[in-house]
Structure 1
Amino acid sequence: MEKLLKEIDVERIVRAVDVGRGNVKFIASTKNEELKCEMFPAEAHPTEVAHEQEGWGTKRKTVGIPVGELIYEVGPDANLAADVFNANVLQHDRYCESDEYLALLLGAVHYMDVPSIDLLVVGLPVATFKLRKVVTSLERRIEGEHRLGSGRKVSIGKVRAVPQPVGALMSYGLQHNRLAEVRKERSLIVDPGRRTYDWLVTQGMQQIEKRSSSVNRGMFDVLQSIADGIGRSTSSQFRDYDAIDRALRTRKRPVVFQQEYDIEQHLPLARKIPEQAVAEMMRYVGDAGDIKNILLVGGGAFFFKPALKAAFPRHTIQELKDPVFANVRGFQHAGADLARALWSTAADGGTVSRSISTEAP
């Protein structure tokens, strides 16, 4: 049987994608057991025809993904395809059911450059993952053959959706070489993303559903609060969210109307965003006295950490290395484990459950 599993592992392709509200993270390759992670902005710009490079300049790094009757331009330079309308506003609570979501996911598959995928693992916000009909519908929509850019096609066999923070728990166990212990412990995984603030309470690798959820208080709300403050101060409609994001991360002043602008005056109000998100989470998890591990991941981790630490002063907050890719790395490892179970069971003529990391009893 061990020899059979090794042969199956060689023949099968497992990949993971995390379509976030700010960026699409994915496993580009698994060569020599090393996971190569890549990402591009979560922007999908619709058009009737595929983009063709004009007669000058460097071709932008995007691909046209056909979905329905339109073509969606996605990729690292997707912002260059943007018009006045901001495509990010499409990221509502039913985001995963939209054509834009599918275009972003297939864009990631395009950049993986594989002819087929036997098992694809995708992540969803915790609140969305509780909607089982939505999850099942999404998995079925992704399974099958799809058109990609440049006339290519890809066949996707099985798809499994998991709560986004569960990948971070798997990554934490692997990074600290204590996966066996984590499988027996109660953990709280906190994931401040672009649009949503997700938290997941688990017993081992199983979700405790009634203590896990999401709230729409992510980094976008922080950036919008500061942008509104700049707009009031300068009598303008300032909307350069990326400039504000860079300023927060580098502690360098953004340039507004050709002048460096001090955003410090707007931070007290912006810091209320993580405080509100953490306060909502505490309704579900209390003082976390029964929780062994508190893990903080996601692109907004740096801004949300002070509020989290203030809420749980008796705990050590664990931050993962490379937190932006923590979830998708964990998805890949979880997918590899599930693949072995699926294929070994199939080889024995049995069946295996469609769910992984669902709620604990």
Structure 2
Amino acid sequence: MESIVRAVDVGRGNTKFISGIKNGELRCEMFPSQAHPSETGTEPETWGTRRKTVGIPTGGLVYEVGPDVHLAADVFNANVLQHDRYCDTPEYLALLLGALHYMQLDRIDLLVVGLPVATYKLKALVTALERRLTGEHELGKGKRVKVMRTKAIAQPAGALMHYGLMQSKVAQLRKERSLIIDPGRRTFDWLVTQGMQQIEKRSHSVPRGMHDVLQAIVEGISRGTGSHYRDYDTVDAALRTGKKPVVFQTEYDLARHLPLARKIPQQAVAEMMHYVGDASDIRNIILVGGGAFFYRAALKSAFPNHTIHEMKDPIFANVKGFQQAGMELARATATNGASAGVPPQPDIAAGERDE
């Protein structure tokens, strides 16, 4: 029987996961990385259809997660996934188990998850997470799943896997040095690799992601309107679509706040350049992540002599790469036996380094 492999990427903004595979195509879904706790699971009262969420029991509480989780939001609810040890929290576990719930499986032979580069460097934390996720879990609504094995990898490593396969360049990438850049909701991650192996001393992440961009704009709107404006999602959508957001029933022009907001990508890229220099030794620069559109200009300014490759659907690039690396690992293990190591393609997933 073929091993069941699934991938989940619990980001600070969205939880992405592979919901299934049909005719070789990876089917991706996501929901906001918000988990709202209660003492007991409650059925939401609605006039129409029931909201698309599930109550995940963990740590003595029930956390509501899912696509419609914004309907459960408390105005004072804090986003708790904003630090390097966020994978230690019950909210992280609730989000991950929520993703497993929507996969509708009762057994997963290999679960692949991703972590920011700075968090991935904390090896004891990575090992603890892999152990925590392996085993049997309750998923709410009477469902359970058994995870036989878990593997955590650095988030941008997934994008490198996916890029190599989609461009039919895996063999070429093995001979080249690459820089993978992943501006996420909370962190700006980058990974430098030689072939498929991570160069750890040149890879890192800093907390200068899209959250900081949105924070700068939200604070500007608050000053401009004399209010305590906090609708981050509306501002995010406005930046992506180019449409003016509606604030107090009036279209609001964000242009006055963009010069300050654009300083965030510039600061993140400047910090990265302490690690990678002018990238003269780097053959491939690959840009992924949900914030790619806003960080593109700062990267092009920093690396004018490079072509920056962008992925289609960049928000799913990492989780697709996790899935592809996991499937290769499962096939190699089945072929060579349980003692087989990680096959050549997913070397980076095993944490191999070239320092």
The verdict on a shared fold, with TM-score over 0.5 as the criterion, is yes
**Residue 251 (structure 2) aligns with:** 260
2:136 to 145, 161, 168: 145
**1:22 aligned to 2:13?**
yes
**Residue 100 (structure 2) aligns with:** 109
**Residue 350 (structure 2) aligns with:** 356
CA shift digits 1:223-276 (9 cap, x unpaired): 000000010111111100111111111111111111111110000000000000
Q: Which runs of 4+ in 1 moved over 4 A?
A: none
2:329 to 320, 338, 343: 338
**1:283 aligned to 2:274?**
yes
**Residue 323 (structure 1) aligns with:** 314
CA distance in structure 1 between the aligned counterparts of 2:283 and 2:88, rounded to whole angstroms: 35
Query: Match of 1:140, SS?
Result: helix
Query: Match of 1:306, SS?
Result: helix
CA distance in structure 2 between the aligned counterparts of 1:281 and 1:102, rounded to whole angstroms: 30
**1:296 aligned to 2:287?**
yes
**Residue 239 (structure 1) aligns with:** 230
Q: CA deviation at 1:85?
A: 2.0
**Residue 225 (structure 1) aligns with:** 216
**Residue 53 (structure 1) aligns with:** 44
**Residue 164 (structure 1) aligns with:** 155
In structure 1, give the amino acid aligned to 2:90.
D
**1:124 aligned to 2:115?**
yes
CA distance in structure 1 between the aligned counterparts of 2:46 and 2:136, rounded to whole angstroms: 34
Q: Gapped runs of 5+ residues in structure 1?
A: 1-7
**1:269 aligned to 2:263?**
no
Contact 1:110 1:148 in 2 (8 A): yes
Contact 1:170 1:330 in 2 (8 A): yes
* TM-score (norm. length: structure 2): 0.96
Query: Match of 2:23, SS?
Result: helix
Contact 1:224 1:241 in 2 (8 A): yes
Q: CA deviation at 1:351?
A: 5.1
% identity of equivalent residues: 67
CA distance in structure 2 between the aligned counterparts of 1:222 and 1:89, rounded to whole angstroms: 18
Contact 2:80 2:91 in 1 (8 A): no
Contact 2:12 2:81 in 1 (8 A): no
CA distance in structure 2 between the aligned counterparts of 1:141 and 1:55, rounded to whole angstroms: 35
Contact 2:31 2:67 in 1 (8 A): yes
* TM-score (norm. length: structure 1): 0.94
Q: CA deviation at 1:340?
A: 2.0
CA distance in structure 2 between the aligned counterparts of 1:35 and 1:357, rounded to whole angstroms: 24
In structure 2, give the amino acid aligned to 1:232.
R
1:95-106 paired onto structure 2 within 5 Å: 95-106=86-97
Contact 1:244 1:254 in 2 (8 A): yes
**Residue 41 (structure 1) aligns with:** 32
Aligned length: 350
Q: Gapped runs of 5+ residues in structure 2?
A: none
**Residue 205 (structure 1) aligns with:** 196
Contact 1:205 1:357 in 2 (8 A): no
Q: CA deviation at 1:55?
A: 6.2
Contact 2:221 2:229 in 1 (8 A): yes
Query: Match of 1:15, SS?
Result: strand
Contact 1:26 1:328 in 2 (8 A): yes
